[in-house]
Amino acid sequence: MILVTGGSGFIGSHTVRALHEMGEKCILFQRRTGELPAQLAALPVAVAQGDVTDLASLLDVGTHHKVTGIVHLAGSMPWPPTSEPPVDATRKALGGLLNIVQAAQNWGVKRVGVASTIGVYSGVASEGALREDMPLPMSAPHLIPTFKKIGELLNEHLSGATGIELINYRISGTWGPGGHDDPFFPAPALIHAAVRGTKPELSRLVIPAYAGNALDLCYVRDTGRAIALLQLAERLNYRTYNVASGRATTNAEVVAAIKTVVPDAQLELPTGKPPPHNYLDISRLQQDTGYQPAYDTQRAAEDYIAWLRAGNAR
């Protein structure tokens, strides 16, 4: 049975579904409720309520279930910012990761997957493919990649010290059913605005949305399947994997795909001067798991719009 923290969330729920489709049972470990989330109600999934920052509640799961693997997708950094003192918030964030490793050690779990982010590559002076073995700068432009870099370093140490396979998932920009407006790229806001028949609200983006801007954009169903494959692979040759589409997708491509389904969508973006296009190299992921993305931009837009039009959350 695979314990999934953050399993009721956006990427987590798709990961749980993918694990189920591969024949694996899951237990969700979630903070707010002990009820199974609606999007997973049809699956035979167990739920345990608790907080990864509370070691006792986490270890209690092992008294009721035989946990054979852990996928740790719950937030492990003080984001979004709170009124909690920064030292306390940092201690709690790092403590959650340490508790996961402690639980794995207590339960005899051999492999723990931990969510990282494409953001760790910020500042790498390279155009084209971003590979897992590239040196990363010590600084980061945002709190999320800051803590993910710290987590990756801790995982490297703890993996060697404990003998547990701690696998980092460097997850690219992800969109799809159950998602929400993202501060780093406009695709979800564009989709939701098209379905609502309104202009997209893009003022909260960290980087202005120009038509030529590009990102390795991965559809969430592919993201969840990639994580499931990494968790269940018989053998992994590395500790860090890019979880992505393996290509750069421009905002203009996203707009064009949406307009094939919603021709009158009000999605005009300024041209501007696009920065260099990067994408995540997924050779490791493909070689060790056989993963291939199933959704290109067109299929992803069609599926996402159909999901929204079926009356799901907007």
Q: Residue 284 sits in a domain of what CATH number?
A: 3.90.25.10
Same domain, 104 and 77: yes
pLDDT value of residue 102: 97
Question: 258 and 133 in one domain?
Answer: no
**20, 126: one domain:** yes
The number of distinct structural domains making up the chain is 2
User: Looking at residue 177, what is its pLDDT?
Assistant: 94
Residue 80: predicted pLDDT: 63
Q: Are residues 132 and 182 in the same domain?
A: no
Q: Are residues 238 and 184 in the same domain?
A: no
Q: 314 lies in a domain?
A: no
* Residue-level pLDDT at 82: 66
228 assigned to some structural domain: yes
Q: Residue 117: inside a domain, yes or no?
A: yes
Q: Which domain holds residue 135?
A: 2-173+218-243
- Position 283 scores a pLDDT of 98
Low pLDDT (below 50) residues in the chain: none
- Give DSSP secondary structure letters for 230-298: HHH-S--S-SEEEES-SS-EEHHHHHHHHHHHSTT---------PPPPEEE--HHHHHHH-------HH
Long-range Cβ pairs for the range 88-95 (8 Å, 24+): 92/53, 93/147, 94/150, 94/151, 94/154, 95/53
pTM over 0.85: yes
Amino acid at residue number 10? F
**Is residue 12 a contact partner of residue 37, using CB atoms and an 8 Å limit?**
no
Sign of the CA dihedral running 98, 178, 1, 226: negative
Alpha helices (H) in the chain, listed in sequence order: 10-21, 55-61, 86-107, 143-162, 187-196, 220-232, 251-261, 283-289, 297-309
Q: Do both 6 and 145 map to the same domain? A: yes
| Backbone φ and ψ of 174, nearest 5° | -125, 135
15/153 same-domain check: yes
